[in-house]
Amino acid sequence: MAEANTNTDVQDVKNPEEFLANFNWHNYEEGIDQVEDEKLEEFEKLVAENFVDTDDDAVVDGTVVRMTDREAIIDINAKSEGVISLNEFRYNPDLKVGDKVEVLIDVREDKTGQLVLSHRKARTIKAWDRVNAAHDKGEIVNGFVKCRTKGGMIVDVFGIEAFLPGSQIDVKPIRDYDQYVNKTMEFKVVKINHEFKNVVVSHKALIEADIEEQKKEIIGQLEKGQVLEGVVKNITSYGVFIDLGGVDGLIHITDLSWSRINHPNEVVELDQKLNVVILDFDDNKSRIQLGLKQLSAHPWEALDSELKIGDKVKGKVVVIADYGAFIEVAEGVEGLIHVSEMSWSTHLRSAQDFVNVGDEVEAVILTLDREDRKMSLGIKQLTPDPWTDITTKYPVGSKHTGTVRNFTNFGVFVELEEGIDGLIYISDLSWTKKVKHPSEFVAVGDKLEVLVLELDVEGRKLSLGHKQTTDNPWDKYEDEFGVGTIHTAEITDTNDKGATVALNDDVVAFIPSRHLEKEDGKKLKKGDTAEFKVIEFNKEFKRVVASHTAIFREEEQKNVQAAAKKQQTAEKTTLGDLDALQELKDKMEGNN
């Protein structure tokens, strides 16, 4: 009966798939069911046409017929179904029953009689053909982001590990790469290196095409003054880049806020949505200048209309320059205090000597131009002008103690009090010392006794003297070292013109070369001690000239004069004797 049934099945079969599905393999293998040779040949033909040769290593197509938590059961039209670990489908998390997949038979039958298939190996065999085809045709491919690597990500594309550069992930800078790991994304194959088997893919390239279309549409509608919504894409020290939906614009730091800011991150933050206004753009609209502060009224327009010159205001120091400090008296409204308006002193200093950034200061409005939005302020005006009663405080001839604030080649500036400076000319520093530069005599910060020599109230100038605070020692030196006085001293220095000797701590005499000659004809040299006679004394120019030669030559002259006088006396005596003899002779002759 079984045989009849089997024969009937073989005879009646019209659908090969139905026949194969209903065929009793066990009875056939045990010899229970007999099949005629003709029918057996037909059966073998059906098997050859419908069953996969499991001895073949070629890649075949299979269908997912069932899925478990760990595996996918694949039908490849073999005697048994195959299994593939779901790990091989990580790149395709949407895998479902009915999907067609490529497989390679890994193990023909395991101990349970099932085929062990490999989808990964099948993909690898076909991968290079697919990757090259996708690159040549510009096709979009799916890839599974496996992990991060230096400079980008590793992506599984058709079973090949491709490189996704960080710059090719998105059109905007990526700050968190890890958010893409274990995700399946669409990519475009942008580069293949056949020699090293390297593949580079891009997700950004897919977005750019859509963005380019959006960009053209947006650019075509741009107008100056137009207000658009954008997203903060990047923040730099000089400004903020805004994504307007595929088109980037720049808000310069000066267009972020009416108030002065040091860095754009004080006003905006990354990914922040905000409205901006188009200020300008170039001819092809590739560079778009945006503004944020322009969406609010200018602070000068809200400034108190009653505010006027001479009023006192308070504000915070926001910027310091060498020439002054900017004070924010209201949000977005600044005034400049020039360094000359910080102190009554005519000796200008740096603004940092008076204020620091962040200081709260009070000032007086000196100028106010609402149209040009400019304001100048002053601090010194909060205190009385010290020159108001200058003639009472510092009359000519009065002595005071001041502080050396600065010096130049020609003199020293001495501050008597804040706002009152006077100048001591270099010639008025010392009665006796020849000062070539003030730094030889004083240092900045020294206390110095001064005498008011001249006072120019209108020109706000004081002329001071230091040497005048003491008596002029040259008054007594005129008597001590006058012309004709003789002094013993040592030659301290020599040159081609002569030598110098110190008569005391203040008085140095010059000895001309011809006056260095000694009595024996030789000349005095450095280190010799001798007597010197003052032959010139000038108190005004502090000039003293002396001579050694004049001493012995004066003695010679005295001796010559004495000898001549003695000779004259002798001559007179001789002549007198001759006259007496002649008189005696005449008498004698007269007597005769």
Q: What pLDDT is attached to residue 285?
A: 67
Q: What pLDDT is attached to residue 363?
A: 93
Q: Tens of pLDDT along 465-499?
A: 998 888 887 778 877 888 888 888 899 888 988 99
Tell me, yes or no, whether 50 lies in a domain.
no
The whole-angstrom distance between residue 107's C-alpha and the CA centroid of its chain comes to 67
Q: Tens of pLDDT along 127-165?
A: 787 888 888 888 888 888 989 888 898 998 887 888 999
Q: Is the predicted pLDDT of residue 365 greater than 80, yes or no?
A: yes
| In a shared domain, residues 423 and 454 | yes
Domain span including residue 243:
222-291
Tell me, yes or no, whether 360 lies in a domain.
yes
Q: How confident is the model at residue 5 (pLDDT cuts 50, 70, 90)?
A: very low
Q: How confident is the model at residue 214 (pLDDT cuts 50, 70, 90)?
A: confident
Q: Are 365 and 313 in contact (CB under 8 A)?
A: yes
Q: What pLDDT is attached to residue 448?
A: 92
| In a shared domain, residues 272 and 322 | no
Q: What pLDDT is attached to residue 12?
A: 46
Tell me, yes or no, whether 435 lies in a domain.
yes
Report CA-CA distances (Å) from 63 to 47, 68, 84, 321, 546: 19, 15, 12, 78, 129
**CATH number reported for the structural domain that contains residue 237 in this entry:** 2.40.50.140
Mean pLDDT of 242-246: 82
Token pair 């040159």 in the structure block, residue:
495
Q: What pLDDT is attached to residue 287?
A: 83
Q: Is the predicted pLDDT of residue 543 greater than 90, yes or no?
A: no
Tell me, yes or no, whether 527 lies in a domain.
yes
| In a shared domain, residues 409 and 370 | no
Q: Is the predicted pLDDT of residue 126 greater than 80, yes or no?
A: no
Q: Is the predicted pLDDT of residue 276 greater than 60, yes or no?
A: yes
Burial of 499 (C-beta count, 10 Å sphere; 0-12/13-18/19+):
buried
Q: How confident is the model at residue 400 (pLDDT cuts 50, 70, 90)?
A: very high
Question: Among 80, 104, 137, where does a domain finish?
Answer: 137
Report CA-CA distances (Å) from 472 to 70, 428, 475, 476: 114, 11, 6, 8
Q: DSSP secondary structure string, 419-456?
A: TEEEEEEGGGS-SS---SSGGGT--TT-EEEEEEEEEE
Q: Is the sign of the CA dihedral 359, 361, 367, 371 positive or negative?
A: positive
Q: What pLDDT is attached to residue 194?
A: 79
Distance CA 514, CA 550 (A): 10
504: enclosing H helix or E strand: none
Token pair 């604030």 in the structure block, residue:
405
| In a shared domain, residues 482 and 425 | no
Tell me, yes or no, whether 587 lies in a domain.
no
Q: How confident is the model at residue 13 (pLDDT cuts 50, 70, 90)?
A: very low
| In a shared domain, residues 283 and 237 | yes
Percentage of the chain lying above the pLDDT 70 cut: 81
Lowest mean pLDDT among 35-44, 125-134, 240-249, 255-264: 35-44
Beta bridge partners of 319: 326
Mean pLDDT of 263-279: 91
Q: Tens of pLDDT along 99-113?
A: 888 787 766 655 555
Mean pLDDT of 228-237: 91
| In a shared domain, residues 315 and 260 | no
Question: Among 208, 236, 251, where does a domain finish?
Answer: 208
Distance CA 323, CA 337 (A): 9
Q: Are 177 and 164 in contact (CB under 8 A)?
A: no
Q: Average pLDDT over the chain, rounded to whole?
A: 80
| In a shared domain, residues 322 and 359 | yes
| In a shared domain, residues 96 and 161 | no
Q: Is the predicted pLDDT of residue 337 greater than 60, yes or no?
A: yes
Distance CA 331, CA 592 (A): 147
The count of domains in the chain is 6
Q: Are 169 and 188 in contact (CB under 8 A)?
A: no
Beta bridge partners of 401: 449
3-state secondary structure of 532: strand
Tell me, yes or no, whether 569 lies in a domain.
no
Q: Is the predicted pLDDT of residue 30 greater than 80, yes or no?
A: no
Q: Are 72 and 86 in contact (CB under 8 A)?
A: yes
Tell me, yes or no, whether 109 lies in a domain.
yes
| In a shared domain, residues 478 and 546 | yes
